[in-house]
Amino acid sequence: MKDTMKKTFEFLKHLEKNNNREWFTQHKAEYDSVVKENKVFFNQVYTELQEHDNLKGIHIFRIYRDVRFSKDPTPYKTNFGVGYSRSKPMLRGGYYIQLEPGNSFVGGGFWGPEAKDLLRIRKEFELNTTEIEKITSDETFMQYFGEIKGDAVKTAPRGFDKNHPAIDLIRKKQYVVMRKFTDKEVLSDGFQKEAVLTLLAMRPFFDYMSEVLTTDLNGEPLY
C-alpha cells in the first residue's frame, strides 16, 4: 500500500503542474493504473469499516472538475477522494478520505444536511448539549479531530436566540470532523490502519446524531 500512495502522490504532483487535457491524455495509462490501485485501497478500507458498521455504499469521486460555474478553469482535481455512506434512514453520517500532496485528510459527518434534518439538529442543541459536549470532550475525539467544524450563518438562524449558550453549534450549517495527515504519514506503512481507526473514532458522534435524526424532540421514534 505504501507503493500505491507513492505512485498516487507522484501522479498528482505532476498533474498539478500540468493541469490540462493534452497532458492528461498523454498520461491516461498512468492515471488508469493509479485509479486501479487506489480502488484496491478504498475497497480494503470499506471492508474493514463494514465489520464495525452498516454501510450502504462506496462512492469514488471522479477526478474531472465541473468548470461550468467556476472561476478556476483547470479541468482536473488534484486529489483522489472516496466517500462511504451509512444505511439510511436509521444510520446517519458519511465517511470521507482525501489523498492529496500537502492536503490529505480523513473526515466525515454531515456536509449538506436536508433542511428538516438541520432544523432538528439545531433544535436538539437548543434543548440540550450535554451529550454532544461529552462526545467532543472525549480524549480520542480531541486527539483526532479537536472540534466539530463546518460553515455557519453569521449570527443566529431564524427563530433562535443569538445569545443562546450553544449558539456556536446552532449557527452551523454543517457538522463535520477532520483529521489531517502529513505526506510522510500517508506514505507510511501504517496509514491504512490509522485511516480506519480515525473513521471508527467518529462512531460516537455518528451514533448520537443518528439517534437525534430518527426521533422527535420528545424522543419518540420517527421510523
CATH of the domain at 58: 3.30.930
pLDDT score, position 71: 86
For residue 21, tell me if it sits in a domain: yes
Q: What is the mean pLDDT of residues 102-120?
A: 97
Q: How many domains does the chain have?
A: 1
pLDDT for the residue numbered 46: 98
Evaluate if residue 138 carries a pLDDT over 90: yes
Mean pLDDT over the full length of the chain: 96
Read off the pLDDT of each residue in 126-153 and give the average, rounded to a whole number. Answer: 97
pLDDT tens-place string over residues 67-83:
888 888 999 999 999 99
Cβ neighbours of residue 82 under 8 Å, at least 6 residues apart?
Answer: 38, 42, 45, 58, 59, 60, 61, 96, 97
Distance from C-alpha of 178 to C-alpha of 187, rounded to nearest angstrom? 19
Determine, yes or no, domain membership for 222: no
User: Is the residue at 221 inside a domain?
Assistant: no
Is 43 contained in some domain? Answer: yes
Look at residue 61 and tell me if it is in a domain: yes
Q: Which domain holds residue 98?
A: 1-214
Would 78 be classed as within a structural domain? Answer: yes
| pTM, full prediction | 0.94
Specify if 219 maps to a domain.
Answer: no
- 2 pLDDT exceeds 90? no
Q: Give a yes or no: residue 223 inside a domain.
A: no
Question: Backbone dihedral region of 219: left (phi > 0), alpha (psi from -120 to 50 degrees) or beta?
Answer: left
